[in-house]
Amino acid sequence: MEAKARYDEKPWLKFYPEGVPATVEIPERTLPEVFDEVAGKFSNRNAMVFYGSKISFSKLKEEVDRFATALHDLGITKGDKVALYLLNSPQYIIAYFGALKVGATITPISPVYTSIEVKHQLEDSEAASIVCQDFLYDNVERSGARLNNVILTGIGEYLPLSKKLAGRSVLGRYGQLEVPSAQFIESRGFHQFQKLIKKYPPNPPKVEINAREDIAVLPYTGGTTGLPKGAELTHYNLLACGLQVQAFWPTIEEGKEVIPALLPFYHIYGQVVVMINGLVLGSTLILFTTPDLDEVLSSMERYRATAFYSVPTAYQFLKDYDKTDRFNWKGLKAITSGADTLHESTVRDWERRTGARIIEGYGLTECSAVSHVNPLGRPKVGSFGVPLPNVGAAIVDHETGEYLPPGEVGELLIEGPNVMKGYWQRPEDTRESLVERDGKTWFRTGDLVRMDEEGYFFFYDRKKDMIKYKGYSVFAREIEEVLHEHCQVKAAGVLGVPDPTVGQLIKAIVVLQAEARGKVSEEEIVKYCEENLAHYKVPKIVEFRGELPKTDVGKVSHRELREEHEEE
């Protein structure tokens, strides 16, 4: 009970920035209601800039209302699922808030998904309508999914004329595929985004939405165990997360921020922290379909960006990029990292290069994007911070469920208004993940972490990635951190491979810097680990590769590494 009492005390509260409350009031309002209020308050302010095209809040609201009216006329009503298969663009935001206005539930699909992955999400979510980038439609067609409405849109529709003529330049790695013909688009069930916007008046229906109960968004988890599953996030969940983050960062001010939106909106991090939170604060979003760093840096300078949200791989690249210094990073109010572990070597190199600090945070799709963040004035390197207002956190033994004291590693549990309702049509998964303890509903994250005496949390590993070697518990992340410190190592992934004599052997898959390839041996990597790790943590197998499999937000995919080993 002593360990539980420590979490009840919430030791992290004493490190909250000045003026940040332990709890914030979460109104039972829908996202469209909040959006309309902000759009009226900042009607003349730019809501977004898209490769030079500027769209004000009043214009954005008008287009949202027109699109909502069109969806209603197409027969889309409360509870229907609408898939968004789009790059970051004005169309994404218009379709997102337009669908919410008619009471629909949005299921965002990653633009890098194959037809098989698209098929699973469309069928599992029961989406009967999709808003799709025209050059991505081929994957929808090949999926064979049955749809009542397909709304196609081109990337150039909101580009200025100069950019339209060179529209391919903003597509980046997605390429330029053959798009459906105009005759095909006009056929039954197919619609053009711009024609719908122009055809319908900004007069959407009034729909009664229960902010606490009605599902606003159905994002799919990464599928680290089995097929991806949808997390049921309500309007209340999403608004709560936004207000919790706002309260924790009082320096981020309403109607004054300019935020580069290079994180993909289909991902919960970009969707909530950048798109939703940015818009409900009256911020101006600088949209990028793909994160071309030259374009990002020049736009940040041109439009005077005030905050920057990204992922560890971006900072890993930017710290060595020759043009990084063209922007004054010290002038930003916040520079944050999430979605993956930020290596300490990256933090040191970044601060040495820019003189600015990266603030690391933590979250999951099931927690509406964010649950922990480092305080702006007192971050700890290696920690993902402290719980946000209204968030409870505890660490338990992942086998017995007993509370663990500070300093011990166990499974992280989270409770708060940002925690999902459950998994869509997965009652067993929901029962396993949402557990009742002490009169509260806690989400079992599956992440192994520890809390120090001051209430800061530190990530060790995913529970399923922990390696058992001769009875020892070994954390892959700890070994990867050491490998990243080697001056000739560019990237590394560590996993346990079954072995009948010791349980699991530790295998390190290493990507060397270009100049070191063919010169650094497996023996040298093992020796380096022996000098920096306990004997039982030293990899027994070292494999060199040219690259590692990554998730679509840039982190090493341990699931794919395990699958590849099983196939071998």
What CATH number did the domain enclosing 493 receive?
A: 3.30.300.30
User: Does residue 161 have a pLDDT over 70?
Assistant: no
On whether residue 71 sits in a domain, the answer given is yes
Q: Give the distance, in angstroms, between the CA of residue 364 and the centroid of all CA atoms in the same chain.
A: 8
165 vs 276 pLDDT, higher one: 276
pLDDT band at 29 (very low <50, low <70, confident <90, very high): very high
Listed range (17-21, 283-287, 338-342) with the worst mean pLDDT: 338-342
pLDDT score for 275 = 97
User: Does residue 180 have a pLDDT over 60?
Assistant: no
pLDDT score for 187 = 63
Mean pLDDT for 275-288 is 97
Q: Which of 71, 201, 194, 64 is nearest to 134 (CA)?
A: 194
On whether residue 402 sits in a domain, the answer given is no
Q: Which of 352, 351, 371 is nearest to 362 (CA)?
A: 371
On whether residue 284 sits in a domain, the answer given is no
On whether residue 178 sits in a domain, the answer given is yes
User: Does residue 389 have a pLDDT over 90?
Assistant: yes
Q: With 0-12 CB in 10 A as exposed, 13-18 as middle and 19+ as buried, what is 397?
A: middle
pLDDT score for 236 = 98
CA dist., res. 395 & res. 519, Å (int): 44
Element (H, E) at 40: helix 31-41
pLDDT score for 504 = 82
Residue 423 is given by DSSP the state: B
Mean pLDDT for 154-178 is 60
pLDDT score for 471 = 66
Count of structural domains within the chain: 2
| Residue percentage of the chain with pLDDT more than 90 | 65
* Average pLDDT value over all residues in the chain: 89
What CATH number did the domain enclosing 203 receive?
A: 3.40.50.980
pLDDT score for 260 = 97
User: Does residue 171 have a pLDDT over 60?
Assistant: no
On whether residue 127 sits in a domain, the answer given is yes
For residue 435, list its beta bridge partners. 442
pLDDT score for 165 = 44
CA distances to 244, 370, 385, 420, 440 from 434, rounded to whole Å, are: 21, 17, 23, 9, 10
Mean pLDDT for 447-457 is 94
Q: Give the distance, in angstroms, between the CA of residue 252 and the centroid of all CA atoms in the same chain.
A: 20
pLDDT score for 324 = 93
pTM: predicted TM-score of the whole model, two decimal places: 0.86
Return the top range by mean pLDDT from 53-67, 289-303, 397-411.
Answer: 53-67
On whether residue 120 sits in a domain, the answer given is yes
Looking at 234, 262, 279, the residue that finishes a domain is 234
| Residue percentage of the chain with pLDDT more than 70 | 92
On whether residue 70 sits in a domain, the answer given is yes
User: Does residue 168 have a pLDDT over 50?
Assistant: no
On whether residue 20 sits in a domain, the answer given is no
Looking at 208, 234, 260, the residue that finishes a domain is 234
What is the gyration radius of the CA atoms in the chain, in angstroms?
24
Residue 549 burial (CB count, 10 A): 15
Domain of residue 204, residue span: 57-234
User: pLDDT of 208-239, one tens digit each?
Assistant: 999 999 999 999 986 444 578 999 999 999 99
3-class DSSP string for 491-557: EEEEEEEEECCCEEEEEEEEEECHHHCCCCCHHHHHHHHHHHCCHHHCCCEEEECCCCCECCCCCEC
pLDDT band at 164 (very low <50, low <70, confident <90, very high): low
Q: Which of 548, 529, 489, 541 is nearest to 340 (CA)?
A: 548
User: Does residue 169 have a pLDDT over 50?
Assistant: no
Looking at 179, 204, 234, the residue that finishes a domain is 234
pLDDT score for 179 = 52
